[in-house]
Structure 1
Amino acid sequence: MSSQTSEPLGRVARRQQRNREALIRAASAVMSEKGVAAATMLEIAERADVGTGTVYNYFKSKDELAIAVLEELMHDLALRIEQAMQGFEDKAEVYAFGIRTVLETAISDQRWKQLLYRSEVIADALFRVMGPYAINDMQRATAAGRFQVDDPALVWRLTAHAIVGIGLAITTDAVPLASVEAIVVRLLCMTGIGADLAVELAQRPRPALPA
């Protein structure tokens, strides 16, 4: 009796998970093509092959769906950064590549840059989703004597908020795009590495990011 009761619930849960994933994929595609503002819930529902009302069973608003899309983008970006830096022994270099890549993505990807005005929400998402990767790199760089970080979670939280804030400033032309390298150097300085070493890290050749 117990197994008969739980099986339908399992199917329901799997269907709900498939619907949610389909909606996020569809929203990601539509928002990438048209931007967040121009995307409509109707178009997203049609792309996901679900009823328009179904969207609201999973997401209260387009804004909430856009944030879910962004969290998926962040997770995928973290994995791509990890893949690109395989074989690099210097975790300080891995971390430097990571923060530059995150900043450049934040100011260039339509799905991301149009949400930068939601600074607190987006910075929190960045802290949560990419934090495990960034914090691990900081810890390993500190253990190797490259960084001097007593509280990597705090440093990453400060960095996440800085990336989102400066990303918004760049996309609104308050800060020139040409400042990206100088910004990366200042973010690296939060690890205690020192300005000269931060400049050297920021200027190293970077591997291609996997598609």
Structure 2
Amino acid sequence: MAKVDLARRAEIGREKRERTRTLILDAGTMLMAERPREAVTVDAVVEAAGVAKGTFYYHFQSIDELAAAVGEKLGDSFDAVLKDARLALEDPVKRLSFAFTKFLEKAISDSNWARLVIQSSQSRTEYARGIRTNLKADIAHAIIQERVTIPDAELAVDIVMGIWLQVTRGILDRGARPDVTQQTVESVLRALGASRSDHQNAWKKWS
């Protein structure tokens, strides 16, 4: 009789549990991209994932806990989009333009991601708070430098996020024109009262 490798058996068990959790998380992500969080049920998730209800509750105590995991996954995707390049940009207006450009490019290339962003924006998710915090920091920096004319950072964040979400909805509904990203970034800077030179430098191919 072959000797049982208990360590390997435990590792296989962990891998299987992780694959199952990923199936459930992916199903929840798909459903939450299609409908409001309040319309997502455990029954719908387990049906989409192809697992038993008991399996769902082994990994997540509730839909709220699953939604938090989806939000964390979405937040990680924002970090992946921005990478370290944003931190290398010291100019707050360039940081804002860079982030806005990358978010729109991601929305154009990944409609499921864009739908999830739109649906998640209706809830006070952790990722949404994180985005607001970063935007507010950049805009507040630009206000101090007198690079924008809007003196209220919170209002400026509302303007930026409102434009971003509405343009993303338009991309989902009608598709993206070749110049939509450039025009949108320039419109955001005009709305914030940035200078003409910043408008001219807003659009570039970021490396």
TM-score (normalised: structure 1)? 0.64
Q: Kindly indicate whether the alpha-carbon contact (under 8 Å) linking 2:118 and 2:169 is maintained by their aligned counterparts in 1.
A: yes
Percent identity, please.
18
RMSD over aligned Cα, in angstroms? 3.9
The 1:119–1:107 alpha-carbon spacing in structure 2 relative to 1, beyond 3 Å, is farther
Residue 194 of structure 2 is matched in structure 1 by 193
Structure 1 CA distance, aligned partners of 2:115 and 2:161?
Answer: 17
Query: Secondary structure, in 3 states, of the residue corresponding to 2:109?
Result: coil
Residue 206 of structure 1 is matched in structure 2 by 206
Structure 1 CA distance, aligned partners of 2:204 and 2:74?
Answer: 25
Structure 1 CA distance, aligned partners of 2:178 and 2:66?
Answer: 29
Residue 140 of structure 1 is matched in structure 2 by 141
The 1:157–1:78 alpha-carbon spacing in structure 2 relative to 1, beyond 3 Å, is farther
2:160 is aligned with 1:155: no
- In terms of Rg, which structure is larger? 2
Residue 56 of structure 2 is matched in structure 1 by 52
Q: Kindly indicate whether the alpha-carbon contact (under 8 Å) linking 2:33 and 2:115 is maintained by their aligned counterparts in 1.
A: yes
The 1:151–1:27 alpha-carbon spacing in structure 2 relative to 1, beyond 3 Å, is farther
Q: Kindly indicate whether the alpha-carbon contact (under 8 Å) linking 2:46 and 2:56 is maintained by their aligned counterparts in 1.
A: yes
Ranges in structure 2 where 5+ consecutive residues have no aligned partner: 1-16, 35-43
Ranges in structure 1 where 5+ consecutive residues have no aligned partner: 1-18
TM-score (normalised: structure 2)? 0.65
The 1:192–1:30 alpha-carbon spacing in structure 2 relative to 1, beyond 3 Å, is same
Q: Kindly indicate whether the alpha-carbon contact (under 8 Å) linking 2:111 and 2:172 is maintained by their aligned counterparts in 1.
A: no
Residue 164 of structure 1 is matched in structure 2 by 165
Between 165-174 and 132-141, report the one with greater CA deviation.
165-174
How do 1:1-211 residues align onto structure 2 when only pairs under 5 Å count? 23=21, 26=23, 29=26, 36=33, 40-42=45-47, 44=49, 51-54=55-58, 57-59=61-63, 65=66, 69-70=70-71, 72-74=73-75, 76-78=77-79, 81=82, 83-115=84-116, 118=119, 121=122, 125=125, 127-173=128-174, 176-194=177-195, 196-207=196-207
Structure 2 CA distance, aligned partners of 1:130 and 1:51?
Answer: 33
Query: Secondary structure, in 3 states, of the residue corresponding to 1:146?
Result: coil
